[in-house]
Structure 1
Amino acid sequence: MKIRHLLLAISITAIWGLNFSVIKLGLTTVDPFILAGVRFTLCALPAIFFIPKPDVQWRYIASYGLVFGIGLWGVVNLGIQSGLSAGIASLVLQFSAFFTILLGAWTFKEAISRYQIAGMGIALCGLVSIISIVDGTVTATGLMLVLLGALAWSAANVINKKARTTQVFAFLVWSSAFSPIPLFALDYAVNGSTGYRELVNQLDYISVLSILFQVYPNTLFGYWVWNSLLKRYPVSTVAPLSLLVPVFGLFGSAMIFDEEVSLNKIVAVSLIVSGLGVGLYGQRILSAMFKRREQPKCYSSQVEHPTDSAPDTVSVTACLKRTALLPTGRIS
């Protein structure tokens, strides 16, 4: 990956990590469901008038919008409002990767590998470490809600896989149109008109900036760049960088809200990120290690001859072929 693309990918993971703190800032004056509703309204409009509908059945577009908008971000917003810190929320939401593995096994009959089982076990130890945190940044209600959001995210991933779309950005924009009305209706059903009166009377520049950040850098720009990188580079090159999201999430919460980064949180981050690494990339890492050990060693391109001290071109060429440098002449 080129350096500028690597830096761009890391910047996107930083935006996604910081987004949890930005959400918390918005929740100081805006109700969780209204905040999510406004976010997805702006994700859909006016972009939907300029981006053609993806070649996907309406049921996939609608169901993805409902699950992603309400089940994921509406519920995560509620979890953060219920007392879970932004940093811990960014970490707990990563359990969606394991829920996706389990749902994939149930829906698509995909086999679960021993690496995935080991990764789940390691990550669960990290969850236990989170439960043991007693500094006020973790609440049982908030934790359960964000875990529910992680489950919804995995369901959205399954819907996305069933849709088989290659027009990911268009799919995101069009599906966003199905989220706002149910979110606004849910808030009215729970809180009546209170949330809307407070939105009009208490909306400040922090809330506006929070909404704009969630819509443009985080959702539209972030997903567009990430999917562009996935088209340019192998998934195995781009996807592992997403493990940085909870790291930036915890860092952002510490910087913006002075969240204490205790030993329990460091242990939780280490265990959950390690669990993700083992579960998602364990097989690939182990295969790469064994492949490296089995590669032949090339000692010298100079071969001693009784009558000729010139390089043995045939021997050098054969060695390069064995180490996968030829015929392209470069290491990929």
Structure 2
Amino acid sequence: MTTRPQTRMSPRHMVFAILVASIWGIAFVLSKVGLRSFTPPQLTLLRFTCAAIGVLWLPRPAISWRLLILIGLTLFTGQFLLQFFGIAMGMPAGLTAVVAQAQAPLTVLLAVCVLGDRPSRQQISGMVVALVGLVAISLTLGHGVPLAAFLIMLASALSWSVGNVLVKRIGKVDMLHLMVWASLVPPLPAFILTITLDGGYASILSAITSASWESLAAVVYLGFFATILGYAVWGSLLARYSAAAVAPFALLVPCVGAITSHLVFGEVFEPLRLTGMTMMLIGLLITIVPLNR
């Protein structure tokens, strides 16, 4: 007999959900801090080397190596390597946190094409609103945001959405185990890029030994807190409660990222950009939060 997921979250678990969303939102800001000392390939290499340590204790999820590698390449390597390149090229951390959420409507579109899913009218409406928000943001490019950085960030969101669809095809799986084992994948391509672009193996050691303590702390935060702890708690909540009860808390991630970036870096959102960001969040809200409970 299967236990039906609960729909009403306890106050204690609400605090956990808010905590995870905050951890992930702050991660966008700390990515920028890490990039002060490390190149995008180096930061990707170090982040997921830290996260992959968990394979020493956690069993491999019951999926093929091929699928595990594909998930690692899309959900982690493509998403974060491109995201770090976008930030390094001038994409503000707060704006990055919001634009990354383009993965939600992109995931719905890919699920239609690949899995044959049929989006509801509500999801279609949400995607249209989010797209209008993206267009509004694109009209502000050149005002401190290079076009190339914006496009790379969209490519990051696309890679994330491909990974989401791959995970969806698996069905039920322990998310913590999957995320930790998928973390084995990014270090190799990141290492190859580091050797190719950053001046060889010695550049990694040089970057680590000369890095500021803030950048080193950012690596630990991204590897352990944002990856292992975040997915462990989020996965446990999804196992206990329905997706409809948990998913809305993900809306806090871009909000926390934007607010933290404003407080730490003084990031300013001009009216049109702020309007576009707000429309993207509204579109995300419409897409993932069911109206009929």
Instruction: Compute the TM-score of the two structures, normalised by the length of structure 1.
Output: 0.81
Q: Distance in 2 between matches of 1:49 and 1:112?
A: 40
Structure 2 residue aligned with 1:227, among 229, 235, 241? 235
Aligned AA (2:12): R
CA deviation after TM superposition for structure 1 residue 117, in Å: 2.0
Deviation at 1:196, TM superposition (A): 2.6
- Structure-2 residue corresponding to 1:249: 257
Q: Which residue of 2 aligns with 1:293?
A: none
Secondary structure (helix, strand or coil) at the match of 2:37 reads: coil
Bigger drift between 149-158 and 181-190 goes to 181-190
Task: Tell me the secondary structure at the aligned position of residue 273 of structure 1.
Answer: helix
Cα distance, 1:21 vs. partner?
Answer: 0.6
Report whether the alignment pairs 1:6 with 2:11.
no
Deviation string 1:76-110 (CA, Å, 9 cap, x unpaired) is 00000010000011101101011111111111111
The answer (yes or no) to whether the contact 1:30–1:195 under 8 Å persists in 2 is no
Aligned partner of 1:205 among 213, 219, 238: 213
Instruction: Give the distance between the partners of 1:114 and 1:200, measured in 2 at CA.
Output: 50
Shift in Å, 1:222: 0.7
Q: Which residue of 2 aligns with 1:240?
A: 248
Letter paired with 1:107: V
Which residue of 2 is the match for residue 263 of structure 1?
Answer: 271
Structure 2 match to 1:114: 121
1:294-305, aligned counterparts within 5 Å?
none
C-alpha separation between the residues in 2 aligned to 1:109 and 1:99?
14
Is the Cα contact below 8 Å between 2:134 and 2:277 reproduced in 1?
A: no
Letter in 1 for 2:221: F
> Is 1:178 the counterpart of 2:185 in the alignment?
yes
Counterpart in 1 of 2:4? none
- After superposition, where does 1:80-95 map in structure 2 within 5 Å? 80-95=87-102
1:264: Cα distance to partner?
2.6
Amino acid at match of 2:166: I
Q: 1:124 to 1:195 in 2, by over 3 A?
A: farther
Residue 145 of structure 1: CA displacement? 0.7
Match of 1:75?
A: 82
**1:135 Cα shift?**
7.8
Q: Which whole-Å CA distance do the structure 1 matches of 2:121 and 2:154 have between them?
A: 23
Deviates more, 1:71-80 or 1:156-165: 156-165
Question: What is the rounded CA distance, in whole Å, between the counterparts of 1:165 and 1:173 in structure 2?
Answer: 16
Counterparts of residues 1-332 of structure 1 (less than 5 Å): 1-45=9-53, 47-133=54-140, 136-193=143-200, 195-196=203-204, 198-281=206-289, 284-285=290-291, 287-288=292-293
How much does 1:65 deviate? 1.2
> What letter corresponds to residue 68 of structure 1 in structure 2?
L
| Counterparts of 1:241 and 1:26, CA distance in 2 | 26
* Gap runs ≥5 in structure 2: 1-8
Aligned length: 284
Paired with 2:13 and 2:86, the residues of 1 have a C-alpha distance of 34
Larger Rg: 1
User: What whole-Å deviation, never above 9, does each CA across 1:202-222 have from its counterpart, x for those lacking one?
Assistant: 212011101011011111111
* Distance (whole Å) between structure 2 residues aligned to residue 22 and residue 91 of structure 1: 15
Deviations 1:250-271 (CA, angstroms, capped at 9, x unpaired)? 0010011011133233312320
What TM-score, normalized to structure 2?
0.92
Runs (5+) with no aligned partner, structure 1: 289-332
**Distance in 2 separating the partners of 1:91 and 1:9:** 19
TM-fit CA distance, 1:201 = 4.9
Higher relative contact order (CA 8 A, sep 6+): 2
TM-superposition CA deviations, 1:275-298 (whole Å, max 9, x none)? 1122233xx31x35xxxxxxxxxx
Q: Deviations over 1:108-145 (max 9, x none)?
A: 11112222222111111211221233684422111111
How much does 1:67 deviate? 1.7
Letter matched to residue 138 of structure 1 = V
Shift of 1:52: 1.1
- Cα RMSD of the aligned pairs, angstroms, is 1.7
